[in-house]
Chains A and B, each alone.
Chain A
Amino acid sequence: ETGVTQTPRHLVMGMTNKKSLKCEQHLGHNAMYWYKQSAKKPLELMFVYSLEERVENNSVPSRFSPECPNSSHLFLHLHTLQPEDSALYLCASSQGITGQSSVVYEQYFGPGTRLTVT
Chain B
Amino acid sequence: AQKITQTQPGMFVQEKEAVTLDCTYDTSDPSYGLFWYKQPSSGEMIFLIYQGSYDQQNATEGRYSLNFQKARKSANLVISASQLGDSAMYFCAMREGYTGGFKTIFGAGTRLFVKA
| Chain A contact residues, CB within 8 Å of chain B | 31, 33, 41-43, 45, 48, 50, 55-56, 88, 90, 92, 97-112, 114
Contact = CB atoms under 8 A, between A and B. Distances in A.
B44 A104 contact: no
A94 to B, nearest CB: 9
Summarize A's interface: helix, strand, loop or mixed.
loop
B109 A42 contact: yes
Nearest to A50: B102
Given A43-B91, A45-B103, A102 B98 contact: yes
Chain B interface size, as a band, is 20 to 34
Nearest to A10: B43
Given A42-B108, A98-B95, A56 B102 contact: yes
Contacts, number: 72
B108 to A, nearest CB: 5
Contact of B43 (A88, A103, A107): A88
A109 B102 contact: no
A18 B95 CA distance: 34
Contacts of B35: 106-107
Contact of A109 (B44, B54, B100, B103): B44
B12 interface: no
Contact of A112 (B33, B44, B104): B44
